[in-house]
Chain A
Amino acid sequence: MNLLIGSLQLGLLYSIMVMGIYISFRIMNIPDLTTEGSFTFGLAASAMISAAGHPLLAILVSIIAGAGAGMITGILQTKLDIHPVLAGILTMSGIYSVNLLVMHGASNVTLLNSKTIFNMMTGAFPDLPKDAVKLIIPLLAAVIVLLVLTLFFKTSLGLSIRATGDNADMVRASSINVDVVKIIAIGLANACIGLCGGLTAQYQSFADINSGVGILVVGLASVIIGEAFIRSRNMFLCFVSAIVGSIVYRYIIALAMKSPLFPAYMLKLISAVIVTIALALPAARKMSASRRLNAANKADDGGKQDA
């Protein structure tokens, strides 16, 4: 039971980040390493501002922090013409120092004695158990982000973003500034990721400078798992699939961790293997198809020789 609720909490919490990765990975076609930096940026900013007594403001700032990090990557990609993956790596690397600066040089910050939106809600509704609060807030946040993104992708700008990931030349021919569209898209993706970091800091009541390590792979795994359940061209369902993927991912990980086979430090390896298998599926299918054709051809030739 604990495992179920815990996975659901984490799944919903991280689904906000997964929706961001859906934008960068699936819509823009870029595995965006900025994620690892922008998540921690949101986390660090949220922790410091919560510690100063403003947990709600902290959430707002974590969104802005993520968006800012993403837009820097976007500018590196477009205006400075740096390879998209390298642009993400540069931002991620540079932002590590910024995060340490935000956290006043400490590698972790605790919020055990600070106001967070979670203990604010517990204070407002004393009857609610703590676990329920930790479920309701991520759920609310995920639903709000889901609705905002769905609405956003119905606008002309949202449509331009989707088209840019598909055929940038065509968007340019429609008199839309592709550079600006890309910068906004990557900014939006990382705004979600920063928000997720901000909520995570308050959810777990601490912030660690290394919280973002490996988070991109977690996000990619969740996106891919989600697509195994729901595949659609409807943007609402696409983002729902990201949420479902995030929750299922947490269950898989929780189950794997529970079995004595996998000690906790195997977490990242398991995630990496899930992503590798999912990404390798098309190639594997092609290989087996060509092998089958080959075998069929050989059988044909054999038949002719016999005759």
Chain B
Amino acid sequence: MLEIVNAQKAFDRGTPNEHLALDDLSLSVADGEFVTILGSNGAGKSTLFNAICGNFLLDRGHIVLGGKDITFLPEHRRAARIGRLFQDPMKGTAPNLSIEENLALAYSRNTRGMLRIAISRKDRELFRQSLADFGMGLEDRMDTKMGLLSGGQRQAVTLLMSTIVTPDLLLLDEHTAALDPATAEKVMQITNGIVYERHITTLMITHNMSSALTTGTRTIMMDSGAVIFDFGAEQRRSMTVSDLLDMYSEKKKEVFDNDRILLSR
């Protein structure tokens, strides 16, 4: 589904601050796979997502999504096939628009001409149904301004927005990290439900090592802009967090340095 070939990206090229954010990274993700991504601070996890979404163009390499080369496609054109959630619940929604209007906007990528009425009765019913599935009571608050919702509620709506038209690829960038544990659990549960039910190819950055090993079907670890470990379902099963940290130290000859990962063990 997703094929990244020898991706390379340097920032601040030609200055003393130059660093390789993506260093000859190659990654191949099969249709329907759910990959969790771990990595120390500055390993290039978010940069990888930015490259896939087209926030910047690669210096070298190719990105192929669903058989189509998207390396040079502008950001908004790629967005038609990629759903993305950020850690910051504010990022994915328009705060002064209602829940319904936010959903309608996300749904409009499906459609139907920009001059059609944005929210039909049928759309409204679809939104209501989908929100009801979350069990958060949001289906009765569709006229509420998005900005008035809690972080967890916003993240749930954003998740629905990114998947209401089934994307070819779903990118989750620590989307539960800013939530309290119970809410994070709930949002993760909703995420799993949507991803499995609709068989969506998904990449998820997380700082929670143990859940990285149990969520999804495959785990990769990144370091210095490259993939250093890649575990399939079989390998992951017997693995513990300390195994993972030991392997990291052995390979890198240094201690893993992501505070949040270590703190959340």
Q: Taking beta carbons and an 8 Å cutoff, which residues of A are in contact with B?
A: 154-160, 162-163, 166-167, 169-178, 233
Does the CB pair A167–B93 fall under 8 Å?
Answer: yes
Does the CB pair A174–B95 fall under 8 Å?
Answer: no
Distance of A106 from chain B, by nearest CB (Å):
41
Which chain B residues numbered 102 to 131 have a C-beta less than 8 Å away from chain A? 102, 104-106, 108-109, 111-119
- Please name all residues of chain B whose beta carbon is closer than 8 Å to the beta carbon of A156 when the two chains form the complex: 104-105, 108, 111-118
The CA of A233 and the CA of B105, in the complex, are separated in Å by 17
Across the two chains, which residue of chain A brings its CB closest to B145?
A233
The CA of A121 and the CA of B8, in the complex, are separated in Å by 70
Going nearest first, the 8 A-B pairs with the smallest beta carbon separation are A166-B94, A175-B80, A157-B114, A175-B79, A175-B109, A163-B94, A159-B118, A156-B108
Does the CB pair A174–B109 fall under 8 Å?
Answer: yes
Distance of A25 from chain B, by nearest CB (Å):
14
Across the two chains, which residue of chain B brings its CB closest to A167?
B94
Distance of B160 from chain A, by nearest CB (Å):
13
- Please name all residues of chain A whose beta carbon is closer than 8 Å to the beta carbon of B111 when the two chains form the complex: 156
- Please name all residues of chain B whose beta carbon is closer than 8 Å to the beta carbon of A157 when the two chains form the complex: 114-115
B217 contacts partner chain A, Cβ-Cβ < 8 Å:
no
Does the CB pair B117–A166 fall under 8 Å?
Answer: no
Selected from B77, B92, B95, B104, the residue in CB contact (under 8 A) with A173 is B92
The CA of A47 and the CA of B170, in the complex, are separated in Å by 56
Selected from A162, A172, A175, A176, the residue in CB contact (under 8 A) with B97 is A162
The CA of A169 and the CA of B91, in the complex, are separated in Å by 7
19 A-B pairs with CB atoms under 8 Å apart are A155-B115, A156-B113, A156-B116, A159-B104, A159-B108, A159-B118, A160-B114, A162-B97, A163-B101, A163-B102, A167-B94, A167-B95, A170-B94, A170-B102, A173-B79, A174-B161, A175-B80, A176-B108, A178-B76
- Please name all residues of chain A whose beta carbon is closer than 8 Å to the beta carbon of B117 when the two chains form the complex: 154-156
Distance of A245 from chain B, by nearest CB (Å):
20
The CA of A169 and the CA of B86, in the complex, are separated in Å by 12
- Please name all residues of chain B whose beta carbon is closer than 8 Å to the beta carbon of A169 when the two chains form the complex: 91
Does the CB pair A159–B101 fall under 8 Å?
Answer: yes
B9 contacts partner chain A, Cβ-Cβ < 8 Å:
no
Q: Taking beta carbons and an 8 Å cutoff, which residues of B are in contact with A?
A: 75-77, 79-80, 84, 90-98, 101-102, 104-106, 108-109, 111-119, 145, 161-162
Across the two chains, which residue of chain B brings its CB closest to A162?
B97
Distance of B242 from chain A, by nearest CB (Å):
38
The CA of A4 and the CA of B114, in the complex, are separated in Å by 42
Majority SS at the chain A contact face: helix
The CA of A233 and the CA of B162, in the complex, are separated in Å by 25
Distance of B94 from chain A, by nearest CB (Å):
4
Across the two chains, which residue of chain B brings its CB closest to A177?
B76
Across the two chains, which residue of chain B brings its CB closest to A164?
B94
The CA of A27 and the CA of B101, in the complex, are separated in Å by 15
- Please name all residues of chain A whose beta carbon is closer than 8 Å to the beta carbon of B145 when the two chains form the complex: 233
- Please name all residues of chain A whose beta carbon is closer than 8 Å to the beta carbon of B93 when the two chains form the complex: 167, 170
Given A155-B115, A157-B115, A166:B95 Cβ within 8 A: yes
Q: A155-B118, A162-B101, A177-B76 are in contact. List 16 more A-B contacts (CB 8 A).
A: A156-B105, A156-B108, A156-B114, A157-B115, A163-B101, A163-B105, A167-B91, A167-B93, A171-B94, A172-B75, A173-B79, A174-B105, A175-B76, A175-B77, A175-B80, A233-B98
- Please name all residues of chain A whose beta carbon is closer than 8 Å to the beta carbon of B91 when the two chains form the complex: 167, 169-170
Selected from B79, B92, B105, the residue in CB contact (under 8 A) with A160 is B105
The CA of A173 and the CA of B77, in the complex, are separated in Å by 9
Distance of B158 from chain A, by nearest CB (Å):
9
- Please name all residues of chain A whose beta carbon is closer than 8 Å to the beta carbon of B79 when the two chains form the complex: 172-175
- Please name all residues of chain B whose beta carbon is closer than 8 Å to the beta carbon of A177 when the two chains form the complex: 76
Does the CB pair B108–A166 fall under 8 Å?
Answer: no
- Please name all residues of chain A whose beta carbon is closer than 8 Å to the beta carbon of B108 when the two chains form the complex: 156, 159-160, 174, 176
Across the two chains, which residue of chain A brings its CB closest to B117?
A154
Distance of A164 from chain B, by nearest CB (Å):
9
Across the two chains, which residue of chain B brings its CB closest to A181?
B114
Does the CB pair A158–B118 fall under 8 Å?
Answer: yes
The CA of A31 and the CA of B203, in the complex, are separated in Å by 41
- Please name all residues of chain A whose beta carbon is closer than 8 Å to the beta carbon of B116 when the two chains form the complex: 155-156
Does the CB pair A163–B84 fall under 8 Å?
Answer: no
- Please name all residues of chain A whose beta carbon is closer than 8 Å to the beta carbon of B119 when the two chains form the complex: 154
Does the CB pair A155–B105 fall under 8 Å?
Answer: no
- Please name all residues of chain A whose beta carbon is closer than 8 Å to the beta carbon of B98 when the two chains form the complex: 233
- Please name all residues of chain B whose beta carbon is closer than 8 Å to the beta carbon of A174 when the two chains form the complex: 79, 105-106, 108-109, 161
Distance of B121 from chain A, by nearest CB (Å):
13
